Amino acid sequence: MKTLVVLFVAICAQTFGDVCLTKGMKSIGEVNTLDPVKLFQIGVQVFTTPYIWLGIVILSIFFGLYLVALSWADLSFVLPVTAFGYVMNALMAWQLLGEHVSVARWLGTLIICFGVSVVAKTEQRTTRQEGNSA
Amino acid sequence: MKTFLLFCSLIGGSSLGEILSAKGMQQIGDVSFRPRLLAGAIWRMIRNPYLIAGVVCMAVSFFSFISLLSYADLSFVVPLTAVSYITNTLGARFFLGERISKERWLGTLLVAFGVALVSVSDKLETYFGSPR
């Protein structure tokens, strides 16, 4: 149970972090130059955008929680469950960003939901721990 | 050919990265949220060779992804990443010794199929048309 709770928080952080990164990059505009000087200027701009920093911090929290979940459960359990992020993304795109979500995308999202619920019911850990528990 | 190599390093890097970090976390053992124990776990994590190698692999995979995106069609690249759910589960079975039950395989295949469908959904819509 605690694994699922931590993974849920991690997925929320991932979705939110991605939104921040997208917002930050959109404010910079499309990158379509290979000129080193301009690329450097864009790089400086990227690292002085608050949204990008916020996104990086939130995504680091996601990664930390993801690793904690891996210390408790199988990789083959944790990984499919994190696909629940696609469901969050569809909901965010639909509700918060007001995007058009196609029928095929809703169908795929439903199938992911179903798959995640099947995996979530399986035994979380099938291997013995090598290290001592901290 | 270049696309194929980049694709291999995208999928291979992410699978290898996931497996190495899972291996590293197996060695670290159960992480607790109590502050002193957590600090100790973090200290052991940043020195764990498997975790470091895992993060490097994920970085390689990420840069392959960006390079692919710089010239290939997004709707071609993204659906292919659904394959990584299957390669990762195989890796967990053979390198980490996890026992994958039938239910877990079924769920994983459903997830991979759903992810592929989500990522081709925009293309499907342009083919078949849909009222906006």
Task: List chain B domain ranges.
Answer: 2-128
- Name every chain A residue with its beta carbon within 8 A of the beta carbon of B20: none
Kindly tell me if the per-residue pLDDT of B62 is higher than 80: yes
Distance from CA of A110 to the nearest CA of B (A): 8
CB contact under 8 A, A134 and B117: no
- Name every chain A residue with its beta carbon within 8 A of the beta carbon of B117: 104-105, 107-108, 111
pTM of the model: 0.84
Two tokens at B8? 């291999």
Q: From residue B97, how far is each of A61, A101, B7, B25, B94 by CA, in Å?
A: 28, 40, 26, 14, 6
Distance CA B72, CA B66 (A): 10
Predicted pLDDT at A99: 79
ipTM of the complex: 0.84
Compute the average pLDDT of residues A83-109. Answer: 86
- DSSP class of A122: S
Q: Out of A23-37, A115-129, B30-44, B94-108, which region has the weakest mean confidence (pLDDT)?
A: A23-37
For residues B69 and B78, is the Cβ–Cβ distance under 8 A?
no
Kindly tell me if the per-residue pLDDT of B26 is higher than 60: yes
For residues A57 and A1, is the Cβ–Cβ distance under 8 A?
no
Q: If you average pLDDT over every residue of chain B, what do you get?
A: 88
Distance CA A108, CA A13 (A): 22
Two tokens at A83? 């696909």
